[in-house]
Chain A
Amino acid sequence: MIAALAFVASGCAAAAQTAPPAGEPAAPIIQVLPNGLTLIVQDHRAADIVAVYLWVATGVRYEKPDGLGYAHFQEHMLFKGTDKFGPGYIDRTVEGQGGRANAFTSFDYTTFQILVPSDGTRTALGLLDDMAFRSIFDPKEIDAERQVIFEEAHIETDNPKSAIVRQLYGLVFSGHPYGRPVLGTPETMNAATQAKLKGFNVQYYTPENMVLVVVGPVDARAVRAMVDQNFGKHPKTGYVPPPVPPLAPIRGMVRKTVERPEQQAHLVLGWQAPSLSDPDSFALDLVATILGGSESARLQKNLRDGERIVSGISVTNSSMRLSGIAYVQAQLEAGDVEKAERRILEEIARLQQEGPTEDERQLAVTKAESEHAFAYETTDGVASAYGLVQLTGKLDDELRYLERLRGVTREQIRAAARKYLPVTSYARIAFVPGKSK
């Protein structure tokens, strides 16, 4: 393994190697192929399972207003046939090897994820290459898949916990691509054609816009040789990312109450937060953990276990490439909605005034250390972490995350709570029992 670390492949435009943080296994080997594709390989020997993940810097953020939902629609279509294989071939091949294939689209990226026993690595790379570059977008398949996506939207509507967060993004990022629906709108989806979806694919699925992550009991040199046979063969296209759209801040209060058929009520309060590359995101991660990121956090202890005005509560700080979102989410009884909102704000204000205790700061760092350790148990956990951070920040941030987190002071935590969670300016949505949906 040590020898492999020193290895720099021929034809490599750039190769970087980051020293592993203390107590951790081998560092990933990062290479940029001549055509601009980034390849990250990590040796990981917990099980004979390789994670082969393709990340593409596309997603909702890149969609035009009349093409909402295309990144996601296009993602679905890559499973529906290429010039070599018919629909279903990918799933049959992967599952026939005992593996799993899946894909996700978010604001900054689309990812295709294959998990296979390690002797299936070459097959997995070949399938992903085929999907990305040779999908045919058969109009008949497009019509069928559109209905599947409409059903996907129904599922989301039926799940209040995810529906309320989706709506919150719309308020917090009003007028910005992060506020758009990932699944598109019925109008844009109905207007999607073979030419439009294929056009989206050709524009964004270029080598220089891709990151391949391979994690498992693999040899980096062997993986590179395999990648040279497929992804490595596509020429550069000269792709230039589109300009970054501006983001308007939330001014004052944005409030919305929605009547739903469920008897349980739901509440979210949300704020714009720093992007992943902003150093403030570390301090805000700790704010989220101290307020409501663990079983013994302030909101859990006081609102859930002490006053019992919520049955579940959590605080999330989600950092993306251009910005971030921090939100408090609670499940509760309808009669407690007003009181819970007031108490959440009081707890935030208290943190802003007094800051955390040293004990709380340490607990929050331990929590992050633990999440990190558990994510690194599996090859897919590592592949997700690397890909996500490569697409939304810098891999170095991920590798040095804990070190940076440990350096955040109590005063910095207090300052982040003040700066990012103003109690007089936020977006708030409540789902309360009622008739309609």
Chain B
Amino acid sequence: MTGRVFALAAVLLFLAPAAASAQTGGVTRTRLPNGLTVLVRENPAAPVVAYSLMLKMGTRTETSDIAGISNLLQQMLVRGTEKLDGEQIAEAADRMGGSIDAYGDADYSEMTATALSRNWQEMLELIGDCALRPTLPDGTVQAVRDFLVRQIRNRGDKPFDAASDRMRAALFGSNPYAWDPLGRRESVEKLTREALLAYYRRYYAPGQMVLAVSGDVKTAEVILQIQRIFGAVPGATVAGPAVPAPPAMAATREVAVVPGAQAQIFVAALAPALTHPDHPPLKVLTALLGGGMASRFFSELRDQQALAYTTLAQYPSRVDTSAFVSIVGTAPENVPKAERALSQQLERIRTQQASEKEVAVARAYVLGSQAMDRRTNARQAWYLAFYELAGLGYEFLDRYAADVKKVTPADVQRVAQKYLGVLRTVIVQPN
């Protein structure tokens, strides 16, 4: 084994000029001639490795009639290849002390895999096999589709998911962010193997993909194997469909009935993409209102008014127009009180400037979240791949951190006035 590794390393010296490599902050970036971007971060802290194979395919590349196709395709990739059936794939991953899984999200799809680092090469082979030689066996397509349709049904039974789906639909209209990555029941039921194959051929192009690796591995060895496994795939460029803009914000209020012990109140507005200069101040605002346990929602709606156990604000980082969403889960009899309290909070952030002290805690929370969330190799690989795929490079996180540090109370109030003036409300409650 040792001998073989040395031989491979020697070969790499000759191959190196073919691929452009650059190293920053412990991460090596390599672009293969066919367009695949490879990022490797060596981390010897634990004897494990994590991979993230990410590509520009997700709800953003879907239309309403094929909503959910990215996620279904991803699920199928780990359920049968030219060499292995689904059972053998699962067993192979178990044997490596790891796992392999794939799913679709809003801006991307990811195949994520982990293994004990002594099996890093075998896992890379398995990823290559699943991503490049899937067979999408017909009977399995049907079973996975049925499973996903039931999952969509189950979302409707959960008050939080039901409220979330209604809000998404209200905010985004005909824009693809309007549906959950699981898709719509009507569209998923009609997806065929042929449709999946066509979609796969269109989007699985190396130029649209990033493979990020983090763990107890040697960069040169990993890059060499990736070149061998992925290098032969022909390069191609693809364009996604034209994406319709979400409807203009309007003040709306929708109440729906879903059985449960708790009611959910969602109040939301459209919010800028992650490349927009208002992104950092709005992230700080989100933390200040509903980030951690020091946030206003937690300390005032939960601790002081005891109106909730869960109360938070979210603002997902998206490549296109995203949303700011504030959430309170409360007892049904408290809905009027909680809705009023939430609306007062959103009014106050627009009309009164927060103190520098409070904004400082929120800034620290945003920066801390980044550090806390990147503790595992799997999350490290995800971060590397996500920002690279978004066209920003993983170095974006450093610029972002610098921008967050500069956010002032005036910035927070300015974005509150700009984005939170007109709000949509969705309430889901039991009878």
> Cβ of A261 < 8 Å from any Cβ of B?
yes
Kindly specify which of B1-9, B128-136, B198-206, B259-267 makes contact with the partner chain: B259-267
Kindly specify which of A53-61, A141-149, A191-199, A267-275 makes contact with the partner chain: A141-149
Known: A95-B365, A158-B159, A261-B157. A374 touches B147 (CB 8 A): no
State A101–B305 Cα separation when bound (angstroms). Answer: 21
C-beta contact mask, B302-338 vs A, less than 8 Å → 1, else 0? 1111111110000000000000000001110000000
Shortest distance in angstroms between B404's beta carbon and chain A's nearest beta carbon? 11
A49 touches B372 (CB 8 A): yes
State A144–B260 Cα separation when bound (angstroms). Answer: 23
> Cβ of A407 < 8 Å from any Cβ of B?
no
State A157–B98 Cα separation when bound (angstroms). Answer: 33
A148 touches B306 (CB 8 A): yes
A373 touches B47 (CB 8 A): yes
Known: A98-B365, A380-B375. A373 touches B360 (CB 8 A): no
A95 touches B293 (CB 8 A): yes
**B330 CB contacts on chain A under 8 angstroms:** 151
**B303 CB contacts on chain A under 8 angstroms:** 80, 87-88, 144-145, 148
Kindly specify which of A63-71, A237-245, A313-321, A363-371 makes contact with the partner chain: A363-371
Kindly specify which of A206-214, A294-302, A415-423 makes contact with the partner chain: A294-302
Counting chain A CB atoms within 10 Å of each CB, the highest count among B94, B260, B367 belongs to: B94
> Cβ of B346 < 8 Å from any Cβ of A?
no
Known: A145-B306, A155-B329, A367-B94. A96 touches B361 (CB 8 A): yes
**A101 CB contacts on chain B under 8 angstroms:** 293
A373 touches B97 (CB 8 A): yes
**B151 CB contacts on chain A under 8 angstroms:** 311
A366 touches B259 (CB 8 A): no
B261 touches A367 (CB 8 A): no
> Cβ of A152 < 8 Å from any Cβ of B?
yes
B262 touches A95 (CB 8 A): no
Shortest distance in angstroms between B338's beta carbon and chain A's nearest beta carbon? 10
A91 touches B293 (CB 8 A): yes
Known: A91-B293, A308-B143, A370-B116. A100 touches B262 (CB 8 A): no
> Cβ of B153 < 8 Å from any Cβ of A?
yes
**B157 CB contacts on chain A under 8 angstroms:** 261-264
**B261 CB contacts on chain A under 8 angstroms:** 154-155, 157-158, 437
State A308–B86 Cα separation when bound (angstroms). Answer: 14
> Cβ of A246 < 8 Å from any Cβ of B?
no
**A370 CB contacts on chain B under 8 angstroms:** 48, 97-98, 114-116
State A158–B309 Cα separation when bound (angstroms). Answer: 13
Counting chain A CB atoms within 10 Å of each CB, the highest count among B90, B259, B291, B293 belongs to: B293
C-beta contact mask, B75-114 vs A, less than 8 Å → 1, else 0? 0000000000011001101111111000000000000001
Within 8 A of B (CB), among A144-172: 144-152, 154-155, 157-158
Choose from B43, B306, B367 the contact partner of A144 (Cβ within 8 Å): B306
B375 touches A95 (CB 8 A): no
Shortest distance in angstroms between B62's beta carbon and chain A's nearest beta carbon? 24
> Cβ of B242 < 8 Å from any Cβ of A?
no
A-B residue pair count with CB separations less than 8 angstroms: 178
A155 touches B293 (CB 8 A): no
Known: A147-B306, A363-B94, A376-B46. A88 touches B364 (CB 8 A): no
Shortest distance in angstroms between A41's beta carbon and chain B's nearest beta carbon? 17
Shortest distance in angstroms between B145's beta carbon and chain A's nearest beta carbon? 12
State A341–B333 Cα separation when bound (angstroms). Answer: 39
State A380–B371 Cα separation when bound (angstroms). Answer: 13
State A424–B159 Cα separation when bound (angstroms). Answer: 38
B45 touches A377 (CB 8 A): yes
Shortest distance in angstroms between A244's beta carbon and chain B's nearest beta carbon? 33
> Cβ of B71 < 8 Å from any Cβ of A?
no
> Cβ of B368 < 8 Å from any Cβ of A?
yes
Shortest distance in angstroms between A124's beta carbon and chain B's nearest beta carbon? 13
B95 touches A363 (CB 8 A): yes
**A369 CB contacts on chain B under 8 angstroms:** 97, 116
> Cβ of B154 < 8 Å from any Cβ of A?
yes
**A98 CB contacts on chain B under 8 angstroms:** 364-365, 367-368, 371-372
**Pairs across A and B, CB under 8 Å, 18 listed:** A23-B47, A47-B371, A47-B374, A92-B361, A95-B291, A95-B368, A99-B368, A115-B372, A155-B329, A261-B157, A263-B154, A366-B96, A373-B47, A373-B48, A374-B48, A374-B376, A377-B376, A377-B377
Given contacts A94-B294, A151-B310, A301-B87, 15 further A-B contacts (CB under 8 A): A47-B371, A87-B299, A95-B293, A98-B368, A101-B293, A147-B307, A148-B303, A151-B306, A155-B309, A294-B90, A294-B94, A305-B87, A366-B96, A367-B94, A374-B46
